[in-house]
Structure 1
Amino acid sequence: MTSPYSPDRSGQVEQTSIGELIGNISDDLSQLFRQEVELAKAEIKQEAAKAGKAAGMLGGAGFAGYLAVVLLSFAVVFGLDAIMPLGWAALIVAVVWAVIGAVLYASGRKKLKTVDPMPRRTVDTLKEDARWLKNPTS
């Protein structure tokens, strides 16, 4: 017994030509491909945002480091000038700021390594699609 909401299509299936079936499959594959491309775009956009944030942190760390080096270095150098020659005071301050810069660089580089440029979900769904195309009955 057929429901009034789902028409009986048994006669329609028998009348469907091979050309129409191939056309339907082609349309479905085109739609699937477009959806996969959209998913890849979304994933890449998300990863690019993460990369942008990491780059912003590195840039901010560099700028803050620059300002700190310029302003605090002068103050510390002149403070140390009271107990040692000016040249040695400047060298000590420069070494301290070099260590701080290295720590900031390592931290930013570590964050940047968490960025994954590969759209993993898209790759997974494409693999599923390929498996389905090879064996559509499973």
Structure 2
Amino acid sequence: MPYLPLSSDDGTAQDASIGSLVKDAAQHVSTLVRAEVELIKTEAVGEAKKAFKGSLFFVVAGVIALYSSFFFFFFLGELLAEWLPRWAAFGIVFLVMLLTAGLAAYIGLRKWKRVRKPQRSIDSLKSTADTLRHRRTHDASSTPNSVTTS
């Protein structure tokens, strides 16, 4: 993430008016929100890549289950039919095909479950919201309720 300076280094903040300080504070909040959004985007892209990689295993499982190298498995059925009844040989081949598809689906599911929510961004947003809420209540309690006019 690029560096986002929150204050100027020219040293003029000491003699700044309240209006310019409020303006600076608004700019800082805007910069902070933009930085938070950028952090969320960065984390979301990383997690989306993990989700994509995990979903590839579901694709592999589907391809194996649907096409399953028909000729090779037919060969295995015929080979087993030399020692077993034909129905049992092809039943065993079918079970092997299902187990292979199930294994690929299980691996895909494990990869899919590793995808996490952007926890750092969530924590950072909660912290920022708490800080702003605390400042608002602190500023409201330190401001006098009645204004005297002369």
If the length of structure 2 is used for normalisation, what is the TM-score?
A: 0.71
Contact preservation (8 Å) 2:65, 2:98: no
Aligned to 1:131: 130
Give how far 1:100 is off.
2.2
**2:23 pairs with 1:23:** yes
Unpaired runs of at least 5, structure 2: 1-8, 139-150
Structure with the bigger RCO (C-alpha within 8 Å, sep 6+) is 1
* SS in structure 1 of the partner of residue 82 of structure 2: coil
- Quickly say closer, same or farther: Cα 1:9–1:82, change in 2 above 3 A: closer
Aligned to 1:47: 47
Contact preservation (8 Å) 1:69, 1:97: no
How many residue pairs get aligned? The number is 128
Give how far 1:128 is off.
2.1
Aligned to 2:106: 106
Percent identical across equivalent pairs?
Answer: 29
Higher mean alpha-carbon deviation, 120-129 vs 58-67, is at 58-67
Aligned to 1:119: 118
If the length of structure 1 is used for normalisation, what is the TM-score?
A: 0.76
Aligned to 1:57: 57
CA-to-aligned-CA distance 1:93-112 (integer Å, 9 cap, x gap): 10122122222211210111
